[in-house]
Structure 1
């Protein structure tokens, strides 16, 4: 299932729910429907930037998380799945940019509506 994050401050960001789940869990938000208000944007940005930094310090845990959310194709090995992985920092980047823009322009981010 796709989640479409929308804000007046930037273009729409689409993410698969299984990839957005980690971000939304960190922000204590529901994946089905929610809002990050302009007032919450600074805190959300700080939380996500901290998690991105941590994921870069401990890439082995980032790999393990991504392997479980990566759909293996028939005959694909775990080693190949590791090579194909996209880290948390790369997955979070579009939403981080949206948060920066929302904070700067005093706009909210919504999804599920």
Structure 2
């Protein structure tokens, strides 16, 4: 399932739910519907930047997560998943940019509406 993050501050950001789940869990938000208010944007940005920094220090966690997220794909082997993985930092980048813009402009980020 796709999640579409929307804000008046930037273009929409689309993410698969299994990739957005880690971010939303970190922010204590539901994947089905939610909002990051302008007042929450600074805290959300800080939490997400910290998680990105940790993921860069421990890339093995990203590999393991990616393997399990895609292990049901037909013909996918563990070796192929490792070679094709996209790290958490790369997946989170568009939402980080949206958070920065929302914080600067004082706008909310919504999804599932």
TM-score by length of 2: 0.96
Contact 1:102 1:109 in 2 (8 A): yes
Q: Distance in 2 between matches of 1:66 and 1:37?
A: 29
Q: Deviations over 1:57-107 (max 9, x none)?
A: 001111101111125543332111100111100000000000000000000
Q: Secondary structure at the match of 2:52?
A: helix
Is 1:5 aligned to 2:5, yes or no? Answer: yes
1:43 aligns with 2:43: yes
Question: Which SS does the other structure have where 1:6 is aligned?
Answer: strand
RMSD (Å) for aligned C-alpha atoms: 1.0
| Runs of at least 5 residues in structure 1 that lack an aligned partner in the other structure | none
Q: Work out the number of aligned pairs and report it.
A: 113
- Equivalent positions of 1:1-113 (< 5 A) are 1-71=1-71, 73-113=73-113
Poorly superposed stretches of 4+, deviation over 4 Å? none
